[in-house]
Each structure stands twice: as structure tokens, then as C-alpha cells.
Structure 1
Amino acid sequence: MTDNINHPKHYTFGEIEVIDAIEDWRLPYHLGNVVKYVARAEHKENKIQDLKKARWYLDRYIAKIETEANHGQD
């Protein structure tokens, strides 16, 4: 029986689940989502949508880092 809540098909390809890598690497929220969307894109129906989501999270994280850096220069 497939567990579509905890282990859907697009989560369980390869040797490890993406969540395990994200936690092991201690990625911040935004970067964890980038990794998640990129890693799963090939295994989902709408690949482009997931890659755009990854880009959105990455752009948002970059903006956050830039804002924090600029506030440090005040």
C-alpha cells in the first residue's frame, strides 16, 4: 500500500528522502525548499512549476541576505 501522506512516490526515489538531506545539512527554510523543489521536479507532473518555485525561494533568500547586509552598513 502506498503512503501518500508520509512517503508519496515523488518523495521516495533514490537512497534517501530529500527531507533527510535538508535536515542533515541544517539548511535554513528557504534553501531547504529550493533543494526540495529541485530534487523532486523530475518526479512530478509539472516540472517547470516546481523549478519556478525553487527559483522563487532562492530569489527571496538572496533578497533577505542582501537586506540584512545593507542594514549592517547603516
Structure 2
Amino acid sequence: MTDMVNHPPHYQSDNGIECIDAIRAALGKEGFIAYCKGTSIKYLWRDKWDNEEDLKKGIWYQNKAIEAMNED
């Protein structure tokens, strides 16, 4: 089964690079943290409280922001 929250196939290039990794490389640490926060808000905002996938995506982006904050 495809994991549409953690590794959606439509966000992966033919050579296996995930879009989130390219975004991280392009934005740097602080830019990436801001991107993750904003994207989390987007998913939580559009959720109508009956869409588990959007809630999980919002949390996923929050966790990515936290991971980046804790990097050296």
C-alpha cells in the first residue's frame, strides 16, 4: 500500500529524490523550518475535521520542522 502521508509517489522524482529533500536543500535550515510551519498550517486549515490524511500531513510537517530545529 502506498504511504500517501510520509512518501507520496507523486512527490518523488524518477531517480528517487523526494521533493521535500530538494526543498530543504534549496531553502536552507531556517527557510525550511518556515516552509514546514506554513505547510502544516495549510493542511490543518483545509481539514474539515473528518479528513485523517490532512491531519496526519499537518503533523508530519510539524515533525519535519522540529527535526530541522534540532539539527546542528
When normalised by structure 2's length, the TM-score is 0.50
* Relative contact order higher in (CA < 8 Å, ≥ 6 apart): 2
